[in-house]
Each structure stands twice: as structure tokens, then as C-alpha cells.
Amino acid sequence: MLVSYNWLKDFLDLDGQDPYELAEEITRSGVEIPDRIHPMDGLKKLVVGHVLDCEGVEGTHLHLTHVDVGEDEPLQIVCGAPNVAAGEDVIVALHGARIAGNEKIKKGKIRGMESYGMICGLQEIGFSDSVVPEKYADGIYVFSEDAEVKPGQDIYEALGMDDYILNFDITPNRADTLGMEGAAYEVGAIIDQKPKVEEKVVLKEDGPAWTDSLDAKIDEKLAPKFYLRKLENVKIQDSPLWLQRRLWNAGIRPINNVVDVTNYVMLLTGQPMHAYDAKTFANGKFEVRLANKGEKLTLLNEKEVELDPNDIIITDGEKPVMMAGVMGGLNSEITSETTDVILESAIFDPALVRKAALRHANRTEASSRYEKGVNWDATEKAINMAALLLRNDANATVDEGILKATDQKREPVVVKTTASYINKVLGTKLSVDEIVKIFDRLCFKVDVDGDNLAVHVPNRRWDISIPADLVEEVGRLYGYDNLESTQPVLPETHGGYSEKEEMMRRMKAIVEGQGLMEAISYSLTSPEKATRYTKDPKDLVEVQSPLNSSRSAMRENLMTGLVDAASYNFARKQTQLALFEQGRTYDHEGGTFNEHEHLAALYSGNTFAENWQHLTQKVDFYFVKGQLTNLFAAIGIDLDKVVYKAEGIQGMHPTRTAGIYIDKQYVGMIGMVAHAVTLSDKALRGSELYGYEIDLDIIIPMLTKGVTAVPAPKFPAIQRDLSLLVDKPVTNQEIENVIESNAGKYLVDLKVIDVYEGSHIVAGKKSISYNLTFLNRKDTLTDDVVNNAMDKVVAALENDLAIKVR
Amino acid sequence: MDLFDKLKELHEEGLNQINKAKDEKTLNDVRVELVGRKGELTKILHSMREVAPENRREVGQKVNELRDLFNAQLDEAKEKIVKAVLAKKLEDEKIDVTLPGREAHLGSKHPINIILDDLESYFIGMGYRVVQGPEIETDHYCFEMMNIPKDHPARDMQATFYIDSEDLLRTQTSGDQARVLEKHDFSKGPLKMVGPGKVYRRDDDDATHSHQFMQMEGLVVDKNITMSDLKGTLEMISKHVFGQDRETRLRPSYFPFTEPSVEMDVSCFNCDGKGCPICKYTGWIEVLGAGMVHPNVLENAGIDSTVYGGFAFGVGLDRFAILKYGIDDIRDFYTNDVRFLEQFRKEER
């Protein structure tokens, strides 16, 4: 809500209050004011001018005018606006003036004619298009007679530009300040002044009693309070300038006196109002109900909407004439022909109004107030105030009586608390008197009984209902600045991570130390990507209304995010990648929502950055496997238990991918991203991406904590090499299994030292060489023992796998 | 020629040969020839018989003198040669130390996690437990338990990713509060926790909105927790993250799960409070929301709100990182451009 500082002066004595300092105080104690606007800032030498004469310049759209600007001689000004005419009071930018956008106005020649200034439209002096009255939208502004301006005087006061406009950026609980009276109570409490707010409107009803002439059928659930008034012989015209400037300073465009009054009363009281042409209800029926399916309504903004069965509507007994609380219908609009007006002041169901506004993408000043609630006590005052203003400004006859179609009462609440509770929560030592004084600033009556307080909260503060709400009122008005800054005095607590979290952090540190950069990807992806790179995909978790189809399902793997990242980087010529992500994957297996902590890595390019020595290698399966092996070793996984099985996984290279098993349990996968994936992505075409993904929820429980030290060996180890000629399909794993199960207990290490396939070897064969390390920790090992072991190994290899030693 | 002449000649010739030798092998040959067991000096001693007895002593003396001289000269020559060889070897081995080294991959931590780790360790030091909750949350924990009523805007389909009528992607980490409150045994001490994690909102991604981001929730509950404690705690975090010289202010705000609710601003670190585009000319930058735990939240978790109370706060980690590192597009966190990520290496702690 844009709160006018000048308007606030109707309620409060603000002499000596700097508007900006006041705004800071309000921000710290009540409602945030992020912007403060002083419309005349940056403007200079703008005065009222009286157009003495005005002639069209032949062959142009220009006019040559002479304008009295309060100086000895009138100024000659060339003006291009279509609506300039003799006798008008206008805005003149003199030579040397500054107008909006810091533009400078100088005298000059236009088509050879001297022009000593410029006649301005409102936009040119900084008004927003959205508030300029329609008739001045495409021309200059012309002061109305009631402006009572004189040539030569500054324009700022007449147009309300000397005002300070404080933008109350309210939180939803403080909708009580969405009216000037509410704002005045709030500012009054902050600066310790009682605002002058009139409780009742004195209104003369000259017209006949009318309330029986309309049969109003109102669903009380939809509109618990519903008041109508009738005005006759209304003269539709422009509103007086004072009212217009209050509207435009609040961001609302003046339209005509009837519409303006409804808006003005809303700004004043916070109670949205509506005015119908009384002709609408000529058949004597008036109805508030939910819309029927298929009903349509053309709104004041000329958009036809299909109504929803949850929209509250007003009808003439048959067809809809208004979307209640949101916007009127074109068919009940106030026009220049309108003579009789029905005024409405009502309270509608907040949630239904909010949903209707949202559904039809039509949030209005009215709906945004209704959805947060309105002052239950303002209904009558608002309708009477509107009638009074129209009586004054539109010569209206006010018919006798208010038609109160529904009239639920709401009793003001009394909240009971204690001074000691308030102090305990705030950490203050305020006396009962000090607390009562703060409530008095809010104009809340308090019954005091020792420490006990019974606070009478008026209906205009419907946000307050429990003691904690009172704590807030006392705290903010006492001033959060005045609270001490302390630390909780508590018994010692042991802070830290869970054991699982500790281990995940350690693994992240290790892979980061291996040179991987941490990525964070979106959890939502496409259903296809969500299950790619996943062995045995589970039931997907899909959101009901995704923003788009590429973000509709929760990922079951992290690899997909890393491949997306690779694509993004490749498209930007960044092809040297080493990325990791630690995060969750999600599935709906077994009817429950499951989340798993994973770790994934993705590599592309070279093991070392390109260098002048050409000492680098392309990243390949074995490089990545080595990195993963190092990670396993670093967290204490027994590497002998880790088994890699060639495996087909969707999205991964069919012959370069392995499932990883520890103790026969599947813990993840490693391999190359499939050609099918990289070929279908322009940026990744032809690239080789290698990576792994492991499930930390399975691996972490396998880890043991703590170390029992074993001394370094005291006896020398013996090494033997073994070169084998092997059929190609035989895997290293098969050979190692045979060696390990036949080499006896002194075999402590087994390494592959060479693999050769090529022209020097018989077709269909390959050569693999191993290095075996034997060690007896308790004694010196003899050659005999080792030879014996080697003989057994060689025999077993020949026997089990038909392998010959070379 | 008598032996004296011979010695004289050997003297000259020997020194000459020693000087001529340019490598260790030649020098060794010279040594063998001059002072070796079958060398010239030995030959002269062997021919002593031919010398008159009265001269033998003098010859012997001269031979010894000459041997000493040769040995000394040979040693000197050898040392020279060794030095020269070494110098040559070192010259051959010379490298250009200004050529670049081979660079391996260098790891880095994601900027949001740099902020998170820093905050976590800060809170752990103050005795807070780090708690992780589910990202796929129920309406019950995300909203109902947190005092967010059924028709609250946050529960709209427009704002939240619902999976079905009861399950959703959490829009806030506050659900962790409810879960921890339900389980905490106050007889074993006060509750102090922080709960970081990913949250999701149904916003289209742009420079300032992301459908996924990271939050951290904080909660302290016991019998005598005050709003002054909250103020002190928030000031410490803000100053820890944004600098000790920052001013802070608390503003009234509104959250369904706290009452009173506040937001904390720090004085703009770009303009120091004078007003600039970063703080939108207010001099202040909003950094977090907080408040005293709403009695309904405690009661919903089965805790007597007349006995226990506390404070809660929530920080947007993306927002902290954006502010701290001057990032102008939140999407940069999730596209994982390596040129963006690598710059945070030096920030690691």
C-alpha cells in the first residue's frame, strides 16, 4: 500500500517529523518500507500557466500559444498536444526546467517559431501511465476549476507532488494497514500519538426508504456481512482534484466520481467497495452465490471469463454481474448515463476470493485485501462514507436505510496473558505499567490484575488472538533495537554431525583431493533421464504439475546431472572435466518414498592438463577405476572384496561398463557413457565420458571404525613374476581367483604388470604378466616354500583354465 | 747421460705429461708411467747400482722429491679434471625452470557448500546438532505441523510441487523442526539443531528464482530461551558471514511457524549503508528470517508451550552465497560451468 504522508496528517500531528526518519522507524517497529518517493524530486521550474491564446499552425499539428506564467509578459510557447486550448490552466516547464528523466527544457525554435518553454502532460513530469486520467493520457494536463491555481505558482502542491509516499510492503498478517486509518493507528502507536479517526459518519438520507425494493438472496457462508445502499440522481463527473490526487498518489487512476469514491473509501478504511448501475437490478432481484459451470462474465477490463463453480458471483437473479471481491462486470458498470447507483460494502470468504483472483489471473486492489481479511467493523462506516462523498460531489440523493442482507457479528477478542510471560519470552524486565503503556499506544484497553493482563483487541487488529501475538506487539513497540543481545544460557550440548554424515563428508574431501570439482544438479529431470544410468530402475517419483516435461521426475541417479553438466561445458568448449556430485536419489519402490545418498564422478579429456612435454593420457576406464579404487582404499574397504562384473546398464557403454559388488551386494557402477547418449547430444558428439556412481547408503554401513596397528614387516618379502599365455575371453578376475586360491597363505600382493594382445602372439590369445609378493611376517621365507607355491599356482592355472606359462 | 740428467729430463717431461692429460684415464696412464710400480721413477731406483756409492744418497733423495712432486701434481690435475667433468655434466643437465609444470586436475567445493560447511562448523562449535530430513515430505510435516493452515497460499498447487494429495517436495526445511521436536527428550537436555538441505518451489527459473535451492533451519528449544537470545545469535551469524563491522537491524515480519517473527538486515556491504543498486538504495540487505517458535508448533509436536519455548531461524544458502560472492544469477549454481566453479577454490576452509 502506498501511504501518503500528507494524508496521514489528517490523523496525526506530524510536524517536525522527517518523513524518511519516520519511514525507518516504521520499518523497524511495524511494516517494512522499502521505497519512499517524493514525486517532486529532481523537478525544477514547473509552474501553472494560463493559456491566453492558441492558434493552429498551418500544415502542422502544432499550436502557437501565449501563456501567462505570472510574469510581466506572457510566454510564447509552441505546443504539439491536441488538447491545448485558450483559457486552460496548464503545466508549464520554463526555460531551465527539469522534467521527468532529468531532462532539461530550454527555449528554442520550433519550425522557425520561438518557444520559451513547454506545456506538459502528466507523464512528462513523472506520473506513471497507470494513474493518468484517461482524458489526459495522450495530451497535456489541464487543471480543473476546483484546483484554484494561479499562473506562476509551483504545480507541486496542486498535483500532490509535494507529498512523501511511503510504500508499506506488508506481511500478510498486517493487512490492517491496507487502509489509511489502519496505517494511522500503526504510525500513531510507533510515534506515541492517538490518531484522530472518526468512529461514525454523519449522513443525511433525503431519499425514500428503499430496502424493501430489492429481494437480496445472499449465501451467508460466502458473504457473512453484506450491506447495500441506494443513491439516486447521481451526476457522473470528474472527482474533485483533492480526491484525484489522493488516488493517484496511491497508485490508482481516477475514472469518475462514483468509481473514485469507492476506491477512495477503500483506501481510507481498507474496506473494498463496489458501485453498480442500479438499472442492473431493475427486476428487484439481487443474489450472491457460487457460479454455475458454464456461466460467463465479461469483466470491467473487457475480458470474458468462464466462471468456475468456486467463484463467488453477484447476479441480478439470473445472470452474473460481478465476480465478488475481485472485479465488476461490464454489464453493471457505472457509465456517464448512470443516474442511480447501488453501493456495496461486504465481507466475502477470503480463501474463495483469493483462489478466484488467482484462477483468473486477476489480482485487484479489492481481492488482495479480501484474501488477507478486512476490518469487520468498517462495513457500515465505509458505505456511509461513500454515500456522504457522493452526496457532496455528485449531488446524489441518499435513499433511506442500509439493506443489511447478511450481518454476522464478530465480538472483539480479549487475550489474557501476564507481564511476566511477555518479559520471559522477550528477555526484558518491563514493568506492568510500561507494558500497559505500550498497549495504550495501540489503543488497546487492558484490565490489569497484578501480573495478569486482559487485553481487549479491537476488530481492526484481527491478526491478534493469542498471548504470543501480544508479545510481538510489546516487543516491536518497545523496539527490537532495545532488546539485549544475549546467548542462550543452557546446559552444554554436544554438537556435531551424524556418523553417516561424517563419512560422507570424508568421502567428499577425498574425491575433491583427487581433483574433482563439486557440482550440484537439479533433482528434477525428465522421466527418461531419471532412470538412465540406473541398474534396475525403480518406480519413479513424479510431480503432479511440473513446470515443464524436462523437470517432472525425481532422479534415480546422479550421473544424469553430471552428463547434463558435461553437455553444458562441452558446448562452451570446456572439455577437460572432472566433476563429482554427492546428493540424493529418489524412488517410490514398494509404495514408500525412498531417498538414497549417492556419490558420482564424471571425467573427460586427459588425466593431466595438456602440456608441452606431451606427458598426459586420455582418461579411460582404468584411470577412473584407479581413482575409485583409491577412494575405496582410503575409506578402508578391503579391495579384495570389491568385484567388478561386466554389465549392461541403460545409458552406459555396453562393453565398457561394470557393476561393482562388495560382498556380493551391488553398490554401484563404473564405465563409459554410451555412444547412444553422446551421439544424440550435439555438444557431446564423439566425446568419451567415463564415470562411476556408488550408493553410500549401502557402502557406509560396511565401513568399520577405528584402527588396530600392525607393525611393519621385519622379514624380507620375495617377489616372483609370472607370464601367461591366455585365451582372449579369459578375464583377469578369473586368473587372479585361481592364483589367490592356490598361492598359499604367504601371498600378500598380486599385481598385473603387463597385458599384451597383438601380432607377436598367436591369434585368439593374449599375454598377461603378474607380479606376486610373498611374505611371512613371523619368519624368513625360503625359496623352497615360494617355489612350491608357484608350482601349485602354475599347475592350477593349467588345470583350471588351460593356461600355459610363457 | 747420467742419472742426474735423466732425472732432470724426467722432471720436465713428467710435468709436461701431467699437464697435457685432459681426462681421468689419460691421467691415470701418466700416473702409472711416472710413479707406478713399473714406472720411470722405479726404473731409476732399480738402476742405482750404476751410481757411484757416494752419489746414491743424493739420487735417492732426488727421486723421492720428484715422486712427491709428481704425486702432488697428479692429485691436483685429477681434482681439476673431476671438477671439469662435473661442471660439464651439470651444464648438460640444466633445465629451464621457467617452463610450466604439468598440472593435474584440481578439485573444488561448490560455493553453496562452502557457505554451508562454514555455517555448520560454526554452529557445531556452539553445540548444535546437524540434522537431515527427507526432501520428499508430507503435507503433514511441511505445513500442518508448522501451523500453516489449509488455505494458506504456500499450500497452493501453484507454489508447491505436489506428488499426490499428501506428499510433496518440501518447500522449506522447517519440516525438520517438527520431526526433531516430536522425538526430542527434554529430560536429556535442551534441543539445539541446524537442518540444512535442498528445498523446492514451483517457480520458473530465472536470474533471481530457482525451483530448487538450499536452506538451513536452526532451532533452539528449552525452558528459558528469550528473544534477546535470538537477537544475539542472529547478530553473531550475520557478522560471522558478512563481517564484524556490519550493522544489523531486526524488523517485524511474519511466518506462520514463529510469533513474534522478524527478519534481519545487515548494512549493505557494497555501499556501507549509503544506498546503492545492490541494496536498492535502502542501505540494508535482508539476510534471514527468524522468530520465537509459535506455541502451536510446539503443541502440535506434543510439547507443553507454557513450559518450553525457543527460537527458530532460516537462512537461504543460495542467497548467502549470492550476497557474499556478488553472484548475479542464481542459475549459475546449478549449471555447473567449470569456469564458474573453479574460482571458489581459494575460499575453501
Per-residue confidence (pLDDT) for residue B5, from 0 to 100: 83
Mutate to test the interface with A, among B151, B198, B226 (most CBs of A within 10 A): B226
In a shared domain, residues B202 and B256: yes
Taking residue A173's Cβ as centre, other Cβ atoms within 10 Å add up to 21
* Same domain for B287 and B177: yes
Cα-flanking dihedrals φ and ψ of residue A239, to 5°? Answer: -75, 155
SS3 of residue A266 by DSSP = helix
Whether the CB of A474 is below 8 Å from some CB of chain B: the reply is no
Distance in Å, alpha carbon of A362 to nearest chain B alpha carbon: 15
Longest dimension (CA), chain B: 137
pLDDT given at position B1: 57
- DSSP code string of B107-136: -B--HHHHHHHHHHHHHHHTTPEE----SE
Q: Cβ separation of A489 and B262 shorter than 8 Å?
A: no
**Domain that residue B122 falls in:** 111-347
Residues B74 and B161 in one domain: no
Report the alpha-carbon distance of residue B178 to residue B141 in Å, rounded. 6
Q: Which amino acid is at A317?
A: G
Q: E strands of A684-777, at which residues?
A: 690-695, 718-727, 747-756, 765-774
CB contact under 8 A, B200 and A172: no
User: Which of B40, B64, B92 marks a domain boundary?
Assistant: B92
Do the Cβ atoms of A259 and A244 come closer than 8 Å? no
DSSP state letter for A51: E
Residue A272 · residue A375 · CB < 8 Å: no
The answer to whether A350 and A371 have CB atoms below 8 angstroms apart is: yes
Task: Measure the N-to-C terminal CA separation of chain A; round to a whole number of Å.
Answer: 91
Query: What are the DSSP E strand ranges found in A18-164?
Result: 36-37, 44-56, 63-68, 75-79, 89-99, 103-105, 108-110, 113-115, 117-120
Same domain (yes/no): B203, B302: yes
Is residue A650 within 8 A of residue A531, CB to CB? The reply is: yes
Residue of A nearest to B124 (CA): A495
The pLDDT of residue A580 is 98
At residue B344, the pLDDT reads 92
Q: Which residues of A touch B189 (CB under 8 A)?
A: 490-491, 493
Do B157 and A611 count as a contact with CB atoms less than 8 A apart? no
| B125-to-A174, A543, A663, B118, B194 alpha-carbon distances in Å | 38, 39, 38, 11, 12
Q: Are residues B70 and B131 in the same domain?
A: no
Q: Are B290 and B330 contained in the same domain?
A: yes
Determine whether the interchain pair B337/A501 forms a contact, defined as Cβ–Cβ distance below 8 Å. Answer: no
Looking up residue B180, the CATH number of its domain turns out to be: 3.30.930.10
**Residues A697 and A597 sit within 8 Å (Cβ to Cβ):** yes
pLDDT of residue B349 exceeding 70: no
Residues of chain A contacting residue B128, judged by C-beta atoms under 8 Å apart: 493, 495
Least confident of A284-298, A663-677, B12-26: B12-26
- Is the CB of B211 less than 8 angstroms away from the CB of A524? yes
B88 plus B118 within the same structural domain: no
Q: Are B173 and B142 in contact (CB under 8 A)?
A: no
The grid cell for A151 is: 499562473
Residue B106 in any domain: the answer is no
Q: Backbone phi, then psi, for A729, in 5-degree steps?
A: -65, -15
Report chain B's mean pLDDT, rounded to a whole number. Answer: 91
pLDDT at position B40, please? Answer: 86
Give me the residue from B192, B250, B338 closest to A493, CB to CB.
B192
Nearest CA in chain B to A483: B228
Overall average pLDDT of the A568-580 stretch = 97
Residues in chain B with CB shorter than 8 Å from the CB of A611 are 100, 102-103
Q: How far apart are CA A165 and CA A254, in angstroms?
A: 18
> Are B334 and A522 a contacting pair at CB < 8 A?
yes
User: Are B119 and B256 members of one domain?
Assistant: yes
Q: Which of B173, B171, B169, B178 is nearest to B119 (CA)?
A: B173
d(CA A199, CA A201): 7
Of A480, A512, A564, the CB nearest to B262: A480
Check residue B348 and give its pLDDT: 64
Count of positions (residues) in chain B: 349
B93 is known to lie in a ligand binding site: no
Those residues whose C-beta lies under 8 Å from the C-beta of residue B97, and which sit 6 or more positions away, are none
- For residue A727, CA distances in Å to A96, A654, A771, A803 come to 97, 22, 20, 8
Q: For residue B233, which residues of chain A lie inside 8 Å, CB to CB?
A: 487-488
Nearest-CB residue to A472 (from B236, B249, B252): B252
Query: B289 and B159 in one domain?
Result: yes
pLDDT mean over A569-587: 97
How many CA atoms does the CB half-sphere of A122 hold within 13 Å? 24
- CA B194 vs CA B133, B191, B214: distances in Å: 11, 10, 13
Q: What is the DSSP letter of A186?
A: H
A229-238 confidence digits (pLDDT tens)? 999 999 999 9
Give the dihedral sign, CA A312/A314/A316/A320. Answer: negative
Burial class (CB in 10 A: 0-12, 13-18, 19+), B239: middle
A419-460 pLDDT per residue, tens:
999 999 999 999 999 999 999 999 999 999 999 999 999 999
How far is residue A689's CA from residue A243's CA, in Å, rounded to a whole number?
Answer: 70
Neighbours of A363 (CB within 10 A): 15
Is B176's pLDDT higher than 90?
A: no
Residue B206: phi and psi, rounded to 5, are: -150, -165
Domain assignment present for residue B190? The answer is yes
**pLDDT of B216 above 90:** yes
Per residue in A19-57, pLDDT (tens digit) is 999 999 999 999 999 989 999 999 999 999 999 999 999
Distances (CA, A) of B205 to B208, B310, B330, B334: 8, 35, 9, 11
In whole angstroms, give the CA distance from residue A656 to residue A654: 6
Residue B300 lies in a domain: yes
Q: pLDDT tens digits for B28-62? A: 999 999 888 888 888 888 888 877 888 888 888 88
**Mind telling me how many Å the CA of B186 is from chain A's nearest CA?**
11
**CA–CA separation, A89 and A537 (whole Å):** 78
A31 in contact with B, Cβ within 8 Å = yes
User: What does the pLDDT read at residue A568?
Assistant: 98
Torsion angles phi and psi, residue A456, rounded to 5? -90, 110
Chain A residues in contact with B106 by the CB 8 A cut-off are 515
Q: Mind telling me how many Å the CA of A167 is from chain B's nearest CA?
A: 12
Asked whether residue B102 is assigned to any structural domain, the reply reads: no
Place of cell 530448487: B212
Q: Nearest CA to A722 among A806, A803, A796, A789? A: A806
Enter the C-alpha cell of residue A267: 483506501
User: Please, what is the average pLDDT of chain A?
Assistant: 95
pLDDT of residue B310: 97
CA distance A110 to A169: 46
CB contact under 8 A, B252 and A488: no
Q: Which of B110, B138, B227 to mutate to test the interface with A (most CBs of A within 10 A)?
A: B227
Does B109 sit within 8 Å of A34, measured CB to CB? no
pLDDT digits (tens, 9 = 90+) for A335-376: 999 999 999 999 999 999 999 999 999 999 999 999 999 999
User: What is residue B272's predicted lDDT score, i.e. its pLDDT?
Assistant: 84
Residues B132 and B212 reside in one and the same domain: yes
Structure letter (DSSP) for residue A168: -
The pLDDT of residue B332? 96
Is A482 within 8 Å of chain B by CB? no
For residues A257-289, one letter each, b for 16 or more C-beta atoms within 10 angstroms of the residue's C-beta and e for the rest, the string is bbbbbbbbbbbbbbbbbbbbbbbbbeeeebbbb
Backbone angles phi, psi at B329, to 5 degrees: -145, 115
Q: Which of B225, B237, B259 should one mutate to test binding to chain A, selecting the residue with the greatest count of A CBs within 10 A?
A: B259
Q: How many CB atoms lie within 10 A of CB B192?
A: 22
Write out the E strands in B201-257.
212-222, 248-255
Cβ proximity of A188 and A11 under 8 Å:
yes
Residue A489: list chain B partners with CB under 8 A: 224
Q: Which of B27, B57, B92 is the last residue of a domain?
A: B92
Tell me the pTM: 0.88
Please tell me the total count of domains within chain B.
Answer: 2
Alpha-carbon gap: A541 to the closest alpha carbon of chain B (Å): 7
What's the full length of chain A, in residues?
Answer: 806
Per-residue pLDDT of A190-224, as tens digits, reads 999 999 999 889 999 999 999 999 999 999 999 99
Confirm whether B174 is domain-assigned: yes
Shortest Cα distance from B103 to chain A (angstroms)?
5
Interface contact B105-A593, CB threshold 8 A: no
pLDDT digits (tens, 9 = 90+) for A496-521: 999 999 999 999 999 999 999 999 99
- Name the strand (E) or helix (H) holding B197: strand B191-200
* CA B256 vs CA A271, B144, B154, B171: distances in Å: 24, 10, 10, 14
A152 pLDDT above the threshold of 70: yes
Whether residue B241 is contained in a domain is answered as yes
Q: Helix B227-242 and helix A419-426: axis angle, to 10°?
A: 20
Distance from CA of A522 to the nearest CA of B (A): 7
| Any B CB within 8 A of A483 CB | yes
CA A731 to chain centre: 56
Q: How close B177 gets to chain A, by Cα (Å)?
A: 16
What one-character DSSP code corresponds to residue B51? S
Is the pLDDT reported for residue A556 higher than 90? Answer: yes
B100 inside domain: no
Alpha helices in A532-595 (DSSP H): 559-570
Assigned C-alpha cell, B227: 528473544
Query: How far is CA A567 from its chain centroid?
Result: 29
Same-domain pairing of B121 and B267: yes
* Helical ranges in A134-192 per DSSP H: 180-191
Same-domain pairing of B168 and B241: yes
Of B99, B333, B342, the CB nearest to A517: B342
The count of C-alpha atoms lying within 13 angstroms of the C-alpha of B83, restricted to the half-sphere facing its C-beta, is 6
Whether the pLDDT of residue B323 is over 60: the answer is: yes
Residues 302-361 of chain A whose Cβ lies under 8 A from any Cβ of chain B:
350-351, 354, 358
Residues in A 537-596 with any Cβ partner in B closer than 8 A: 541-547, 551, 554, 561-562, 564-565, 568-569, 572, 574, 577-579, 583-584, 586, 593, 595
Residue B314 falls inside a structural domain:
yes
Q: To the nearest 10°, the Cα dihedral for B24, B27, B33, B36?
A: -60
pLDDT of residue B134: 96
d(CA A440, CA A193): 10
How many residue contacts between A and B have a Cβ separation below 8 Å?
A: 260
Whether A547 and B204 lie within 8 Å, measured CB to CB: yes
Q: What is the pLDDT of residue A609?
A: 86
Contacts of B109 in chain A (CB under 8 A): 512, 518
Closest-CA distance, B189 to chain A, in angstroms, reads 7
Secondary structure of A296-353 as H, E, C letters: EEEECCCCEEECCCCCEEEECCCCEEEECCCEEEHHHCCCCCCCCEEEEEEECCHHHH
